[in-house]
Structure formats: structure tokens, C-alpha cells
């Protein structure tokens, strides 16, 4: 009997990319060339190398993506090892991005993963423009907002305020919390961006200080009392370090005393860590399910082998029967897709915030105006124009190099073009909360030929 033909490593992928279908995208052109182009030219950035990020790197590499990069600012901790399967005990203290990239490349031949051990804000905007798709595996609303703003900053609109397809930077966002998770596709200008649906995320729980100090009612109140009030009373001038075991043990001991005083049960060391560090429970199975959904959507966007998700998937693993999820059994997985609508007035994925200026306004005056503009509210702004740094707040070398532009008219710095788009990066003050952010600004200079009344009347 003749030996059976060896199974191709891309056999399953070929079923999607080499055959036509009824649910394919309008640009889908099946064939070997598509598969080869996907492996050679598609560039995907994975943001985050934690529980979800590890799964994403593995799944993307096994799905035919050969050119991957990953960015993460964290180092590996012992508590990561139960679910972040790419890490080992000997990796504790090493950068997550570097170890994750190394492990996947060891197991999947032909894939090249470039790690970046830094904050996402440390990379300039053009760094993100080099990728075809950005996949998010983050656990922070602030980080998601920043990457969303960066991706939307590349979006350009035509004269009729229609988004130009060639400037769209697709994102696939995943998130998990315990047995729940979500996956969604964000195509700036077409689908809702992260800012359009920021209301989906519940506000972070905050405890009134008067409750903590006078009438604690549960274990979390006792822990936050020790953390926010008692620590400053005893350690005046010394900052609390949540990663210092001695500091955490002190808070735990004080919380136990507080709980005993008021007869409140339930204070444990693990709960103390969770409350103080705002740890979200993570389960490996949930990460795997959401990562699979995100990877499939990434493959759809890159190849057109199927229509993409429209546009928000939620998943819940159940261990009990619940009317909310309408399970028929005692265990199962419930998924649901919801199509949300883009906010036409979104300040991030819309055409941009309209700002009208005189031609004599200097760059310094313009930066000061951003602090007062109700639609921007940005301090310490750095300004770029078509990739050129007009003024950079940091690092000091760039600040010194661009400082001379501050006293020049912005009109001259924009090559005397009557209307165009700038990008501002800085600290956004919103609802008494500060966060890093990026805004797209449509600057129109008054009194210049070619600027119509319609230009002046439009807005974001």
C-alpha cells in the first residue's frame, strides 16, 4: 500500500482561502496567491501580552500570520502563571512581550514576532500606521481609548465627509472578565469605535471616604480603609507600593483588625490583593474562547474569506442554569452578537474637531486654546502635521528641537494651506479624570480664499 500523503500544515487554512463560498466578502479572491500574500505581507500588531494576548499570539501564528509584533509594558509575575500559558516559573521578572514572542516562535516555524517592551504611549503615531490590523488584548479602558484614538487618527474624509477606505485602520478588540467576555470589530468610519460605545463599560466602583471611615459594611470597605486612610496616617510621606509584599501584608493585617472591630467577615489576603490592585478575575478558558473569535475576525478582515462580525460579540460560560442566558442545561456557552450604531458626532472617529483660527495665531497660542476648547480639553499637547513634529512635549531632546516653532504662526507651519488636519497628543481632562489621549483637529483659517462658508459652519 502506498504511503499516505503527508498532511499540509495549512490544510485547514486552505479550506477557507482556496475555495469560493456564499458568505465571502466582496473583495475575496480565493487561491494560493491569497494564502501566500497573507503570510508574506499581512502585518498584525498585538497590544497586550497577558492572558488574552498570549492566546492571540498563538492563534494568529497558527492561522497563517507570519509577521506579528507585540507590545506590553509589564513584567511576568508569579500570579500570571496559572493562565498565561507561555510563561514559566523561571520567566518571573522578565518582560512579557519578549518571553511571549520567543515561546511562540519556538513552537510555530516560520513566524516572526517582534516584541516591544514599553508603554503604548512611548511609540510615535507612525509606528501604528505600519500595521494592517491591530488586535487588542487589554484589560484597561484607558489603554483601549488611546489605541482607538490612534487608529482613528489615520482616518481621512473626502469633501463630502465620507470616510476614505484606504485610510481605515481595522481593530479587533477582545476582553474577558471571569466567565464573561467580548470580541468586536472596529473599522473606523464604518462601525462604532471604542469611544462611540464607551457607555458599555460600567463605571469603576468607588467607596465614599465617610463610609470607609465611619460605617464600613463589608470586607472591601475594611480593606480600602487600611489602604486609603490608615496607610497615610501611619506612613506619612511614603507611597504605597501594591507590588511590595510587605506593604500588601500590612494592609491585610490592618483590614483584619478593622473587620474584627465591626464584626465583618470575609477579609482574606487574596481579596486584599484584588481590592487594592483592582484585579479582574481571569479564567484561561474564557481567554481561549475570546481569542479564537478575535483571531477569526482578524483572518476575515485580512483575507475577505467571510463577512466580518456585525459588530459586537458577547460570550458567557455558565456553570448553573440561569433565565438570563436561557440555557437548557446546567452547563454551557451562550454567545450573542449585537450590532451597535456609529455615533455620527463622535469626537474620535468623526471627521475631527473643527477649530477656526486667524492666520496670525502662533503654535503656542493654539496649544493654549486646546486647554479651553470644550470638545478637546487637552493639556500638555504635542502637535503633529502629516507625520511632522511641530512641537513635542517629550522627550527633552525633541522638545528642544521643536521649541522654536512655538512662536511661529500655525498657518506658516501648515505650509499656508487654508484647511487641513492636525493631530494633538496629550492629557485629556474629562469628568474630573485625567488620561492620555489623541485628538484629530480640523483646522480652518479664516479669511483665506478657497475656504467656503460651509467649511466654517461644519463641525465634528
pLDDT digits (tens, 9 = 90+) for 306-340: 888 887 877 776 544 333 333 233 356 778 888 88
Q: Provide the total of helices (H) and of strands (E) in the chain, helices listed first.
A: 16, 13
Asked whether residue 433 carries a pLDDT value surpassing 80, the answer given is: no
Q: Is residue 170 classed as helix, strand or coil in its secondary structure?
A: coil
Section 233-246 average pLDDT: 85
Cβ atoms 313, 423 nearer than 8 A: no
Asked whether residue 192 carries a pLDDT value surpassing 80, the answer given is: yes
Asked whether residue 460 carries a pLDDT value surpassing 80, the answer given is: no
Asked whether residue 288 carries a pLDDT value surpassing 50, the answer given is: yes
For the chain, residues classed under CATH 1.10.10.520 are: 209-277
pLDDT band at 241 (very low <50, low <70, confident <90, very high): confident
Section 202-209 average pLDDT: 68
Given this model, what pLDDT does residue 313 score? 79
**pTM of the entire predicted model:** 0.74
Query: What would the DSSP string read from start to end of 99-123?
Result: HHHHHHHHHSTT-EEEEE-S-GGGS
Nearby residues of 267 by Cβ (< 8 Å), 6 or more positions away: 219, 222, 223, 252, 255, 256, 259
Is residue 305 part of the annotated active site? The answer reads no
Section 280-299 average pLDDT: 88
Cβ atoms 28, 263 nearer than 8 A: no
Asked whether residue 135 carries a pLDDT value surpassing 90, the answer given is: yes
Q: Name the CATH superfamily for 353-446.
A: Ubiquitin-activating enzyme E1, UFD domain (3.10.290.60)
pLDDT band at 91 (very low <50, low <70, confident <90, very high): very high
**CA-wise closest residue to 60 among 116, 1, 113, 124:** 113
Given this model, what pLDDT does residue 314 score? 78
Task: List the single range of 119-123, 345-349, 354-358 with lowest mean pLDDT.
Answer: 345-349
Given this model, what pLDDT does residue 8 score? 61
Q: Which residue has the higher pLDDT, 108 or 314?
A: 108
For strand 419-430 and strand 433-445, is the pairing parallel, antiparallel, or unpaired?
Answer: antiparallel
Q: What is Dmax (Cα atoms) for the chain? A: 86
Section 406-420 average pLDDT: 90
Given this model, what pLDDT does residue 331 score? 59
Asked whether residue 445 carries a pLDDT value surpassing 80, the answer given is: yes
Asked whether residue 453 carries a pLDDT value surpassing 50, the answer given is: no
Section 4-11 average pLDDT: 61
For the chain, residues classed under CATH 3.40.50.720 are: 28-201+283-321+328-338
For the chain, residues classed under CATH 3.10.290.60 are: 353-446
Choice among 210, 325, 346, 349 that is catalytic: 210
pLDDT band at 180 (very low <50, low <70, confident <90, very high): confident
Percentage of the chain surpassing pLDDT 90? Answer: 43
Q: What is the mean pLDDT of the chain?
A: 85
Task: List the single range of 111-115, 197-201, 452-456 with lowest mean pLDDT.
Answer: 452-456
What's the CATH fold of domain 28-201+283-321+328-338? Answer: Rossmann fold (3.40.50)
Of 48-57, 77-86, 153-162, 305-314, highest mean pLDDT: 48-57
Nearby residues of 375 by Cβ (< 8 Å), 6 or more positions away: 347, 353, 460
- Integer Cα distance of 301 and 133 in angstroms: 8
Given this model, what pLDDT does residue 382 score? 92
Asked whether residue 35 carries a pLDDT value surpassing 80, the answer given is: yes
Given this model, what pLDDT does residue 318 score? 58
Given this model, what pLDDT does residue 451 score? 52
Task: List the single range of 63-67, 136-140, 210-214, 400-404 with lowest mean pLDDT.
Answer: 210-214
Decide yes or no: CATH 1.10.645.10 for domain 209-277. no
Amino acid at each position: 500500500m502506498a504511503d499516505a500523503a503527508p498532511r499540509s500544515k495549512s490544510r485547514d487554512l486552505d479550506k477557507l482561502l482556496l475555495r469560493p463560498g456564499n458568505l465571502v466578502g466582496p473583495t475575496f479572491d480565493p487561491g494560493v496567491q491569497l494564502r501566500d500574500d497573507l503570510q508574506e505581507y499581512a502585518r498584525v500588531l498585538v497590544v497586550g501580552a497577558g492572558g488574552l494576548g498570549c492566546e492571540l499570539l498563538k492563534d494568529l501564528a497558527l492561522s497563517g500570520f507570519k509577521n506579528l509584533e507585540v507590545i506590553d509594558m509589564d513584567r511576568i509575575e508569579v500570579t500570571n502563571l496559572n493562565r498565561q500559558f507561555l510563561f514559566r516559573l523561571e520567566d518571573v521578572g522578565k518582560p512579557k512581550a519578549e518571553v511571549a514572542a520567543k515561546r511562540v516562535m519556538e513552537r510555530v516555524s516560520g513566524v516572526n514576532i517582534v516584541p516591544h517592551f514599553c508603554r503604548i504611549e512611548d511609540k510615535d503615531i507612525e509606528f501604528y500606521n505600519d500595521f494592517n490590523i491591530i488586535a487588542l488584548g487589554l484589560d484597561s479602558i484607558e489603554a483601549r481609548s488611546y489605541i482607538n484614538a490612534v487608529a482613528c487618527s489615520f482616518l481621512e474624509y473626502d469633501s463630502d465627509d465620507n470616510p476614505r477606505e484606504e485610510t481605515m485602520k481595522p481593530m479587533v478588540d477582545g476582553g474577558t472578565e471571569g466567565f464573561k467576555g467580548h470580541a468586536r470589530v472596529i473599522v473606523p468610519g464604518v462601525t462604532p469605535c471604542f469611544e462611540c460605545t464607551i457607555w458599555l463599560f460600567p463605571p469603576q466602583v468607588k467607596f465614599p471616604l465617610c463610609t470607609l471611615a465611619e460605617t464600613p459594611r463589608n470586607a472591601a470597605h475594611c480593606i480600602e480603609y487600611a489602604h486609603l486612610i490608615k496607610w497615610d496616617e501611619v506612613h506619612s510621606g511614603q507611597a504605597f507600593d501594591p507590588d511590595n509584599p510587605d506593604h500588601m501584608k500590612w494592609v491585610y493585617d490592618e483590614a483584619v483588625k478593622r473587620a474584627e472591630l465591626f464584626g465583618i467577615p470575609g477579609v482574606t489576603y487574596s481579596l486584599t490583593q484584588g481590592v487594592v490592585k483592582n484585579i479582574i478575575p481571569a479564567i484561561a478558558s474564557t481567554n481561549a474562547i475570546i481569542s479564537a473569535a478575535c483571531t477569526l475576525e482578524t483572518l476575515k478582515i485580512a483575507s475577505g474569506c467571510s463577512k466580518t462580525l456585525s459588530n459586537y460579540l458577547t460570550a458567557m460560560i455558565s456553570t448553573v442554569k440561569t433565565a438570563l442566558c436561557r440555557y437548557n442545561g446546567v452547563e454551557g456557552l451562550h454567545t450573542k452578537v449585537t450590532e451597535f450604531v456609529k455615533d455620527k458626532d463622535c469626537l474620535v472617529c468623526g471627521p475631527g474637531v473643527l477649530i477656526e483660527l486667524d492666520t496670525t495665531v502662533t503654535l503656542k497660542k493654539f496649544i493654549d486654546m486646546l486647554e479651553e476648547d470644550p470638545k478637546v480639553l487637552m493639556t500638555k499637547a504635542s502637535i503633529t502635521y502629516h507625520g511632522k513634529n511641530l512641537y513635542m512635549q517629550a522627550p527633552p531632546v525633541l522638545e528642544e528641537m521643536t521649541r522654536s516653532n512655538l512662536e511661529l504662526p500655525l498657518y506658516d507651519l501648515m505650509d499656508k494651506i487654508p484647511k487641513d488636519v492636525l493631530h494633538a497628543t496629550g492629557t485629556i481632562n474629562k469628568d474630573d479624570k485625567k488620561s492620555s489621549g489623541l485628538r484629530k483637529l480640523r483646522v480652518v483659517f479664516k479669511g483665506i480664499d478657497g475656504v467656503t462658508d460651509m467649511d466654517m459652519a461644519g463641525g465634528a
